[in-house]
Structure 1
């Protein structure tokens, strides 16, 4: 019997999913087996977790970003220690939830897990951290554990694709954007004529560019916003578009330490998620604006600027020492300009020049004359 390409694709996907599901179940069973073995020997069970916040477990490679080293240090979560017994129990609880979902091919968000027993977990952040610890411990991507992330990012522009369930999505620029899919891994048939991708830090700026029809005025492009610090799905989508389209990717951030930090997450990744760097980072990303040097170059009014707080200054000094700054001398120079001026600026500061300066002058001139670093 002849089958369509879609049917064949689904058969292959189901086969791969079944094989990987067995691998996940086996990994969890190994953890439980170690616990049972310890109990049988009258020993208190222990879980060994990578210290995901330790820069000593991180190495920098300019082709990947921040990635976890193979000889990482671990910390012990002991079942008989008052300080860690609760976390030990919560990890087993979430492992059991994951095991059942993989068995039944069902899914839940981290928020679903938290609200299944709020008194037990205490806070959403506890669930978030444990899920990431489990993912790192099992060496299995979080999205493969049948735990979905709540998506907050949006995308618009010259792009269409098919979601895993066969729904076709058209992101053609209009008054509203499309929410980043919850299963980025499952999208296929990506089609675009875009010449570049623009990552916008803030939703307000993203919406303003959308209203100005920026995606079509200069040249076809794709715009993405993570609405601040990007969620996992937004980062996965940026990486997928880079792997699929191989077109330039630029960032438009506030000229402040927080904006630079967000840009570095897209480009080089974060310490806490360094174990998934190969799936999340895009080292080819370039910094388009707002550059600290633009503030003086464009003669932006002083009353449109904001003084750096002590916390800003400390973050800036810390970031200048990060390993990836050694291969980004221009970035370091921009950060030195900010540190010397002790001032920061939001993208909205450009409206002091004119209400549509960003879309009419700033971005077109930057893109046409190579004003990125």
Structure 2
């Protein structure tokens, strides 16, 4: 078929192709923009190297007489210009190499991140442990992924240890879950590893780890850094928080019976209705905490700092308060003190200088019951 026949108008009902497939022939000889720019810069560099030296030499001499070795002087200037251009090319090449290395590292980090996430869902415990520690390594090298990794590990723990039915009443009851008498590191090493990683990670500003309603008795979180963590209604019976930092933590209705809290920092934490029966809390920092209606029977609070804490409705029967600091403590007639303790020795409370601790109600903690309206209607077949 000739080219004249190719130009024949299409038949009715056959529209002209205007997409990329129809224009593939016209784009065959298209030249990319970077190539044109590179060629232009190359031509400009060569032109400058050949013609610019004469003007530079004439400008430097001014009205003086040209030297006898005029050609040699021009060649020297040309050589200097070419060396400068070569150095610039080397700098550009070094930058492009560095940029390519950064892109390569980013791609490798993305692949490692995806592989670690896939390992979290594996059926083998060893593989899940590998995924958890791989995420920890990524978080240490990539500050941009720390927040996301914290949320992922929190969701991993919650999916395996959360009891959505827990409420304020469960804090007063003993946990009867299978294996609850065994340390968490033995019965669930992957969950224990995830908690350990969260406890020793670099804190992310403004992030709150959502670990509410988890059942993790006998877990070891010594020296953990869990500021602003949300653990309300959780079961942490006989857990170890020695030297842990739980500043401003939400521990509402948490069960910490028999827990070890020596030298822990719970500054301005929310401990309303918390159960700390028999807890070992020597040297604990409870300044500005809300301990209203908290259960502190037989707790060892030797040397504890309770300044500005709210103890209204709290029960401290049998508690050890030797050497404890109780400056400006808020209490009333509903506070139950240990036998022989003279509450009149406490300095009278004044308007608290510390900000209020999460003035919320338990309605905000309520879990919405699933209803038929929440489920999408089934499509008719």
- How high is the TM-score relative to the length of structure 2? 0.25
Which structure carries more strand by proportion? 1
- How high is the TM-score relative to the length of structure 1? 0.25
Which structure carries more helix by proportion? 1
- For the pair shown, the structure with the greater C-alpha radius of gyration is 2
Structure of greater relative contact order (alpha carbons < 8 Å, 6+ residues apart): 1
